[in-house]
Structure 1
Amino acid sequence: MIAIKKVASSACLVCASVVFYAAPAWALLPIQHWTEPSGAKVWLVESPVIPMVDVQIDFDAGSRRDPAEKSGLASALALMAAKGVKGQGAEAALDENALGEAWADLGAGFEAGADNDALRYSLRSLTDAPLLDRAARLAARQLAEPSWPADIWARDRARWSASLREAATRPANVAAEAFATAVYGSHPYGLRTTPDTLARISVQDLQAFHAQTVAACRARVSIVGAVSRSQAQELVTKLLARLPATGAECAPLPAVPEVEPLKAAAEQAIPFASAQAHVLIGQPGFPRRDPDFLALLVGNHILGGGGFVSRLTEEVREKRGLSYSVYSYFAGGLHAGAFTIGLQTRPDQAAQAVKVARDVVQRFVAEGPTEAELRAAKDNLIGGFALRIDSNKKLLGNVANIAWNGLPLDYLDHWTQKVEALTVADVRTAMAKKLQPERMVTVVVGGKP
């Protein structure tokens, strides 16, 4: 154990000394892709400078697959992944404390999380062979053989429910929930996790959901680090070895419907005793794989994603002083995520702020950006591109994005050139195709009834 800790300490010093020199080359590192005999799909970037490896394993088991009456199931599964593993043969069972200590002794980490689309497991370890072998085998147990302790689930469910009740006392959360329901309708993206839906989730539900969705043939594995392809293949085999053998072809999971476009504008004014009114305006946007993604990224940067240099900031904050900050963004996923404009203002100014924000969107959709705005946005985005990949973990996120959304393997290589090539007409056309200012949802929380 002491030897392992010495390896971890020395490697961390190496990482600290080289991280500033490694970034410029990362954008040029090729992404390798193959399918394992188990059916697992793998994406690898060999980054040999730092003796570490980062792995992300994605499964189609996000909240879009939660039953409506048991919303929170995917997140509950991710939460319980760290609460213990079963014993098997000579391997003793580990509770949550022993599991945490085991990872601390290895100087490695293994985490799980869930979002709308995916259940994600993440491993970070040094690449020292004995240490990485132990980390992979421990991660495999946690991935395939969680112990599902009923008392721990009951404890954490109670904590989660209390947190949800507390969140319902905050106007920002009230606005976000009302907005999601209005934008997504009955689509799973709009489901709300509540104390009632959590109360319906049993350990048996967690086990069944895990058995249905977590299989080697469903895994998308992204790897960045100091490992060769053969080492990556060995690592993937170890990580997925304890999952049930299903063969390379999995039975397809049930189809999830697409998000329906809004048929008409809708407004909700929700009274709330707060000093500020919380305003959200928006509509369904587009899936992440949309071919217009970069044009929309640039367009939104000009509209409201560029901080203090955006049109919304100029009109709402600078000219009229209606809000300290105002922003907009697209949240693309496997389905059409929401386009959202958000701001806070005094309740007596909310109507004016809403009108100004709507007018800005309407003009931008109709006219598009100016050449000067487009140039400034390109310079900002291209200039900041290196910050998107300046660590193994950030690069891993980009590789996983390519893997999950079926993007070309050379997507990062051509990102800056494609942004540079965009024209005013490209941006205007893309924004006009996706945004319908006359059919947006507006939610205002704050002010007296």
Structure 2
Amino acid sequence: MMSLRIFTAGLLSSALLLSAGCHSLDSRQTLQGSSAEQRISSLAAMSNQDPVTRNLDIQEWRTAAGTKVLFMAAPELPMFDLRLTFAAGSSKDQQAYGLAGLTNAMLNEGSGKLDAGQIAARFEDLGAEFSSGSYRDMAVVTLRSLSDPKLSAPALELFSTVVAQPSFPADSLARIKNQLLAGFEYEKQNPGKLASLALFEQLYGEHAYAHPSAGDAQSIPTITRQQLQDFHRNYYTAQNAQIALVGDLTLAQAKAISEAVSSSLPSGPAAAVTAKPVASGAAKTHIEFPSSQTHILLAQLAVERGDPDYPALFLGNQILGGGGFGTRLMEEVREKRGLTYGIYSSFSPMQTAGPFMINVQTRAQLSEATLQLVQDLLRDYIANGPTEAELADAKRESLGSFPLSAASNSAVVGQLAAIGFYDMPLTWMSDFMQDLQKLTVADVHAAFKRHLDPEQLVIVTAGPTVEQLPLPEPVERGDSAAMERQH
């Protein structure tokens, strides 16, 4: 048994709200009679307290069929969440772009004699929820069920059958293909989506991450039912799966469930780890699009899961552009110059190097000036790093927001699935928060310099070619007259 310490103030708040909803009328009247001063002082006292914590015990084992299992008991509610994660994302498509996503989407379209409607009706009758999704690294299938064996046993049996024995009916395949093709047509009217697709293609070149997970209008029509069956047989195997379980289960029940689910899956080896990409170098692409706004994306290959620099990159990015209002990018681009409603930066670690990205949308006439400003801000941040005050604020905000990652069973099961899939320590969540609190300005600065080069950015813009305007002068907060003149 491994102990995992997670900050869960959000979970405590939810529990308090639930209990408040159960008060009698007399209790509510008493609460309403409290003075505003008392309520405000209570909130002030809470803000000075350390976040409420609890110990979460995560246990790990492998089933007889070779599936890794991560389990955490959570008896507070009579239900459980199960997530099956397969190394079966679009990085395994090879040249059949969209094959992984289409296979995943077809799982609950038919199994044995059951069609999609019957499968959905049975899950609903049992009070259970089935869902699935496909991404670049992985495919996931989830079940939420009440823990009463009279309901959970048939729900698990149906779940296992759907995942392990899909029939891939021809009529459903045709329908989902048509839905995807309609979606591709719709995306042609979305300059942000077009820019994103072009960015990944430019950033990853010939790598398996380069193509869109959903495929494209050329690849989807050619995918056959036989290809779906082959992909399922090769990748939806017990040895290529991870199980995450969270909820109202004993250890014995969790082991029985994981054995039943794992044994129902086909036998086969684990998929090979995705190869490392080759950095493409600096590049700039413009997509002509008739609109009043221009979408601007800047990116670079940056970090993979498990990199020891990730805590420093995460915290530094909260200061740069990942933390919403108050970040450097938001302050300089939106607050001081009114160039956009929002600008954001992010690191997306994956099985191999994932991208660092900045995303902003601005008036077409100011797109070149905005792009130059963003590049200058990034260049300055990499060269000089954050200030002590910025770092302290980012640590405090991260400590306060991190409970959201454990605010529900579904959130926790998602964290466990990621820990299992990327082979991270069971204590990763608590280790991550501890690592954040230890970081110095020098640590963050050094990590950014190691992973980012402002002269090697891949830049994609989507918008019209129009005469450009100069960059507006910055306006400090409180200068309302100057802001009015600027707009």
Q: TM-score, normalised by structure 2?
A: 0.83
User: Is 1:151 equivalent to 2:171 in the alignment?
Assistant: yes
User: Aligned runs of 1:281-430 on 2, under 5 Å?
Assistant: 281-430=298-447
CA distance in 2, matches of 1:20, 1:59: 36
- Give 1:445 shift: 0.6
Please tell me whether residue 262 in structure 1 is matched to residue 284 in structure 2: no
SS state of the match for residue 274, structure 1? coil
CA contact (8 A) 2:65 2:263 kept: no
Residue pair 2:304, 2:353 contacting (<8 A) in 1 also: yes
Residue equivalent to 2:111: 85
Aligned residue number for residue 22 of structure 2: none
Q: 1:223 aligns with which of 228, 245, 266?
A: 245
Residue 195 of structure 2 corresponds to 175
**Retained in 2: the 8 A contact 1:175–1:445?**
yes
2:210 matches 1:190: yes
8 Å Cα contact 1:43/1:403 also seen in 2: yes
1:19 Cα deviation after fit: 8.3
Residue 166 of structure 1 aligns to which amino acid in structure 2?
Y
CA distance in 2, matches of 1:176, 1:370: 32
For the residue of structure 2 that corresponds to 1:222, the secondary structure is strand
Give the 3-state SS of the residue equivalent to 2:264 in structure 1: coil
**Alpha-carbon distance in structure 2 between the residues aligned to 1:108 and 1:66:** 31
Separation in structure 1 between the aligned mates of residue 448 and residue 321 of structure 2, nearest angstrom:
13
Distance 1:218 1:107 in 2: 29
Change (3 A) 1:46 1:18: farther
Conserved in 1, the CA contact under 8 Å of 2:240 and 2:270? no
Which letter does structure 1 place at the counterpart of 2:453?
Q
**2:108 touches 2:163 (CA, 8 Å); kept in 1?**
no
1:435 aligns with 2:455: no
Q: Distance in 2 between matches of 1:224 and 1:109?
A: 15
8 Å contact from structure 2 (residues 63, 262) kept in 1: no
Checking the alignment, whether the CA contact within 8 Å between 2:239 and 2:270 is kept in structure 1 is: no
Say whether residues 1:199 and 2:221 are aligned partners. yes
1:446 corresponds, among 440, 463, 472, to 463
> Residue 289 and residue 19 in structure 1: after superposition, are their counterparts in 2 closer, same or farther (change >3 A)?
farther
Question: Highest Rg: 1 or 2?
Answer: 2
Shift in Å at residue 391 of structure 1?
Answer: 0.5
Give the SS at the match of 2:303. coil
Q: Tell me the CA shift for residue 27 of structure 1.
A: 4.7
The alpha-carbon deviation at position 402 of structure 1 amounts to 1.2
Secondary structure at the counterpart of residue 31 of structure 1 = strand
**One-letter amino acid of the structure 1 residue matched with residue 449 of structure 2:** A
SS in 1 for 2:209: helix
Q: Which amino acid is the alignment partner of residue 314 of structure 1?
A: E
What's the CA shift for 1:396? Answer: 1.0
Change (3 A) 1:106 1:25: farther
Provide the rounded CA distance (Å) in 1 between the counterparts of 2:17 and 2:80: 14
Residues 413-446 of structure 1: CA deviation (Å, up to 9, x unaligned)? 3333221111111111111111111000111110
- Alignment-derived partner of residue 156 in structure 2: 136
For 1:132 and 1:94, how far apart are their aligned partners in 2?
A: 19
**Aligned-partner SS, 2:245:** strand
Q: Which residues of 2 match residues 18-97 of structure 1 at below 5 A? A: 27-68=54-95, 70-86=96-112, 93-97=113-117
1:3 aligned residue:
none
Whole-Å separation in 2 of the counterparts to 1:435 and 1:267: 17
| Residue 251 of structure 1: how far off its partner (Å) | 3.3
Deviation at 1:241, TM superposition (A): 3.0
- Note the C-alpha offset of 1:110: 1.6
1:25/1:146 CA distance change after superposition, 3 Å: farther
Query: CA–CA distance in 1 between the matches of 2:350 and 2:288?
Result: 32
Shift of the 81–282 alpha-carbon distance from structure 1 to 2, 3 Å rule, reads same
Q: 1:138/1:325 Cα in 2 relative to 1: closer, same or farther (>3 Å)?
A: same
Cα-to-partner distance string for 1:253-307 (whole Å, 9 max, x where unaligned): 34532121233x2111221101100000111121121111111110111010011
| 1:357 partner letter | V
Query: Contact 2:321 / 2:329 at 8 angstroms: preserved in 1?
Result: yes
Please list every run of 5 or more consecutive structure 2 residues that lacks an aligned counterpart in the other structure: 1-13, 20-50, 467-487
- 1:120 alignment partner, SS class: strand
Q: 2-side partners of 1:261 and 1:160: how far apart? A: 30
The offset of 1:26, in angstroms, is: 7.4
1:112 and 2:132 aligned: yes
Residue 13 of structure 1 is matched in structure 2 by none
Residues 206-215 or 184-193, more deviating? 184-193
Provide the C-alpha distance between the structure 2 equivalents of 1:369 and 1:428, rounded to a whole number of angstroms: 7
Q: CA deviation at 1:18?
A: 7.9
AA at the equivalent of 1:261: A
What residue in structure 2 maps to residue 12 of structure 1? none
1:63, CA displacement in angstroms?
A: 0.4
The one-letter code of the counterpart of 1:96 is A
Instruction: Write the letter of the residue equivalent to 1:155.
Output: R
- SS of the equivalent of 1:48 reads coil
Report 1:3-18 matches (<5 A): none
Offset of residue 242 of structure 1:
2.5
Report how many residues are paired.
420
